[in-house]
Structures are given as C-alpha cells and as structure tokens.
Amino acid sequence: MTTTSLPRTGLTTDGLDLTTADPERRAALVAGFPFPFPNPTYRYSTNVEPAGSAVVTPAGQWGDCVVDVDVEYTAELAERAEILERDPSRHAVLPHMRVACWDAMLCLMRELAAANPATMELTLLETGSRPRYRWRNDVLGIDTAFTYGLESTLPAEPLAWIGQQVQEDVVLLDQREGELFGDAGVVTFAADWSFGFDVGMSFLEIHGPVPRLHAEGVITRAQAFLTRLQPGEVYRRTNWTLTIGRRLDVSTELYDQWGPDRESIQLLDDTAFGALVHLRTEVQHLIRLPESGAVMFLIRSYMLPLEEVARVEHWRTRAADVLEELPQDMADYKGIAKYRDRAVAWLRAAG
C-alpha cells in the first residue's frame, strides 16, 4: 500500500497507487476496464444481463469470467487482509447462514479454477455425505484438503477464507417470505456504505437511502428478479461513482479520512486533478447458490484515473456527457456534486 500526500491542500489518498505503475500494468488495467456508460445519459435501473460473455470496448474487453483475477490480485488481497485485521466487522455471518457460506466457497473456487486453470484447481477427493476436496491456489501458495461442512478442516470460516482469495466483495442474501436479507458477507471495499451497519437488513432497507429507487419502482423490480433466480443462474450488472485517489475502501466507517478530499480536490491544478479523480466501476454478479438457495452478490471494483479515461476518445466524451446531464439528486447521493462540473470541464478540455 502506498500513500500519496499533497502538502498544498492536506489531501491524502491511501490505496493502490497508479501514478508510479509500470506501463504494462497500466495498459492491462485500461484494457480490462469495464467502462460503465453504454448510453449518453444515466439513470438507476436493474440493467441485468446474463454473465460470462466478453464485452468488447475501444481499449480491450472485460466480462468473460465471473470472478476476475487481474494484475492487482495480490496487492488488493493484501489490502483486504489489512482492513479485516483492523476492522473485523467487515466480515459477518449470521448463524443460519453457515450452509450458504460453504455453498459460496465451493462456487467461488469453481469459478476461480475455471478462469485460471494453470494456477488454481478444485479436486473432489471423496464422495459421500461429507465430500472431501483439495483446493490449490498457486498464486497464494495454498494447497489444502478439506471436508465439506467441517470447519475444523479449514484454516478459517469458509466465507472468510475464500473471501481473502477473491478481489470481489461478497454478500450472501437469504431469501424468506418473498424477501431478501443481507445476512452474511466479506466487504472491505464498500463505496460509501457500511456492511457492518447493514448486515441483517432487508434488501429494500439496505437500498433505502438511494434516491429514485423506491419512487420509480427500481428496487422492488430488482428484488422480484432476484427472488426468481434459479440455482446456477448467473447475471451481472454495473454501477459507478467517482473516487478521489486510488482508494478501494471508501466505507462510511472511514468517512473522516476520505470525505474531506471532495473539498480539497478543487484546490489542485489540472494535472493533479486528472491523476487523482478516478472513475470507479462496480461489476456486480448475482448467483443463486445450488445447495443453500441463497443469492450470492459479488461486487468487484475497478478504478481508472480521468487521465487514463481521457486517452480513450469515446470514454472521454461519453463520461463528460453523462456527468454533465446527471440529475442533481443523483450527483449528491454519489458524493460527486462538489466537483462534477470540474470533472466535466477537465474531460472536455482533454480532447
């Protein structure tokens, strides 16, 4: 982890620094970036589609796998481990979600192995009422045999263990009486929300603060869609915001650390502004787990500074169009209202 300090303003951004990254790493991040604006305007919607197919962009492609391992893998997992050690509330499992955690672990292992067959493998060693497996993750030096459902055969609680092998945040939604509840998860990279506060809440309650979702019926349609998911079905959607600095953890618990950046960024010159303001895309995958029936909600966060976004002409003009047209209440909720006009002007001038 690196820290970039700008003494003129006092602005400090903690996280994975891209300003000193080698050209190959920067190129890989651009090529795999899921640009979130298919249209010149943006409104909240369910915008779900079947997962697993590649989306071609002017810079490369993304989306050909459900669980993505990229050049940030070990760095982001190291950051996750630091956050969990500092704040254990980022991992929570309500007692009735134990089966769902095992279910999620196997699902994530299978997705990792399918996407990375040279370095990751899940092998069934014994069948029966208590199957035994061997999990190998060469990138992290893991080679472990375990008995399904027997926690003593794992180094940690199953969701916690696999959560430290994927870059995605993981939330498990329990379904009962036609509603969904966020009853388990590992969330270290939340964008202006708190998993520790939300755990146990209903899906509708968790999304209560988001403007327009309830009035326009978006969130009720989303819940209806999720409750109809069949075992093994996988869908995806994207969400986005702007983040100051390459900071993955912008949870409400740390607002005192990153919140003031929204004011300080206005004091920077154009070069620093373009380097520090990041377009942040969340690729969210929705999976009905086969054994427990829980819905696994994966949230993978990708970030590119505006200076990199602007190198792709279509991205530069489209991002400017979307930010300029975005309604004020949505800009306020996303926390970008104070500097979105500057971001639009910066993008327009970068052409």
Q: What is the DSSP letter of 294?
A: P
Q: Which of 237, 262, 311, 348 is catalytic?
A: 237
Active site residue 237: yes
| C-alpha neighbours within 13 Å on the C-beta side of residue 143 | 3
- Within a 10 A sphere around the Cβ of 276, how many other Cβ atoms? 25
Residues 122 and 134 sit within 8 Å (Cβ to Cβ):
yes
Q: Which residues of 227-257 are buried (b: 16+ CB within 10 A; e: fewer)?
A: eebeeeebbbbbbbbbbbbbbbbbbbbbeee
The answer to whether 26 and 18 are in contact (CB under 8 A) is yes
Distance CA 347, CA 159 (A): 41
**Residue located via tokens 């651009």:** 30
**The two three-digit tokens of residue 96, written as one number:** 């009735």
- Catalytic machinery residues: 237
